[in-house]
Amino acid sequence: MMARRSGVLEYAVLGLLHEQPMHGYELRKQINALLGSFRAISYGSLYPCLKQLVERGWIAEAGPADAGAPALTGRRARITYELTAEGKERFQNWIAEAGPEAWDDEQFGVHFAFFSRTDQAVRMRILEGRRTRLQERMALLRGSLTRTSERVDQYTAELARHGLAGVEHEVRWLSELIAQEQGGQAQANQEPSSASDGDRTVTTRTSKTNRKSNKQPRDRRSSASVEIGRNHR
């Protein structure tokens, strides 16, 4: 479990530094906003993670964030971190992953936070996988609640119903997201055909115009011949 949490933190750091260089204090604020208050990140876990990422060559220290400011006694300079080429490649490989680990409780949130940089097909696999996993969990919770409702006290039963309601709510939310993704993909597939229809319309109009223009000279020549014949007579 600790290894998974460490991995989530690493990918959150890589994803945020993919946007712009940041110092540790700003990274901590952004990660806490990204992962939510229930997974608050402390400096005690962030800085060891940053050190490991530097050692792996995925991020680099770009220098003090306030290098241009006058030095203050007793004040520690904030180090700014930036993503390396290796770090960008690692992040791109990670957001392309759509296996079971991307659906679990630890990694789904951080995967979802970077969906704007994720391929549509990968987004669909993650959303559908997450929904399937929660539907299985929902069935287990309902069965457990039915079997134990008469053997537990009122508050334990309410807690179980509360957990079930949370899972049901997320399943509905995921179904809405999947429908939106499918609708967006359908619209994207229609756009090329619409463009082709437009090209065919333009081509048809151009062909008609060319035919009209080709007819006009023949009509003029026929009229001129008739007029010449009349003059001869």
Per-residue pLDDT of the chain (233 residues; tens, 9 = 90+): 444 556 889 999 999 999 999 999 999 999 888 877 546 677 678 999 999 999 999 999 987 655 555 555 455 668 999 999 999 999 999 999 999 999 998 889 999 999 999 999 999 999 999 999 999 999 999 998 888 877 888 899 899 999 999 999 999 999 999 999 998 777 777 765 555 555 555 455 555 555 555 555 444 444 444 343 444 44
The answer to whether position 128 is within a domain reads yes
**Does 108 share its domain with 12?**
yes
**Does 97 share its domain with 154?**
no
**Does 110 share its domain with 188?**
no
User: By residue range, what is the domain housing residue 185?
Assistant: 122-194
Q: Distance of alpha carbon 158 from its chain centroid, rounded?
A: 36
Which is nearest to 87 in space by CA: 58, 114, 50? Answer: 58
**Does 137 share its domain with 153?**
yes
Q: What is the pLDDT of residue 233?
A: 41
**pTM given for the model:** 0.72
Q: Backbone phi, then psi, for 49, in 5-degree steps?
A: -65, -45
In the numeric block, which tokens belong to residue 151? 């053997």
**Does 23 share its domain with 83?**
yes
The CATH number that applies at residue 97 is 1.10.10.10
> Residue 164 belongs to what H/E stretch?
helix 154-232
The answer to whether position 222 is within a domain reads no
**Does 110 share its domain with 140?**
no
**Does 126 share its domain with 45?**
no
**What total number of domains does the chain contain?**
2
**Does 86 share its domain with 152?**
no
CB-based contacts of 64: which residues, under 8 Å, 6+ apart?
Answer: 77, 78, 79, 80
Q: What is the pLDDT of residue 6?
A: 65
Which is nearest to 14 in space by CA: 94, 69, 79? Answer: 94
The answer to whether position 174 is within a domain reads yes
Q: Which residue has the tokens 């957001």?
A: 95
The answer to whether position 150 is within a domain reads yes
The answer to whether position 108 is within a domain reads yes
CB atoms near residue 117 (< 10 Å): 12
**Does 112 share its domain with 46?**
yes
Cα gap 50→133, rounded to integer Å: 32
The answer to whether position 29 is within a domain reads yes
CB-CB contact of 103 with 133 (8 Å): yes
Q: What is the pLDDT of residue 150?
A: 79
**Does 57 share its domain with 15?**
yes
Q: What is the pLDDT of residue 85?
A: 97
CB-based contacts of 182: which residues, under 8 Å, 6+ apart?
Answer: 124
**Does 81 share its domain with 54?**
yes
The answer to whether position 146 is within a domain reads yes
**Does 14 share its domain with 81?**
yes
**Sheet architecture: strand order including 79-83:** 22-23, 79-83, 59-64
Whole-number Cα distances in Å, 59 to 14, 32, 76, 83: 8, 20, 21, 4
The answer to whether position 207 is within a domain reads no
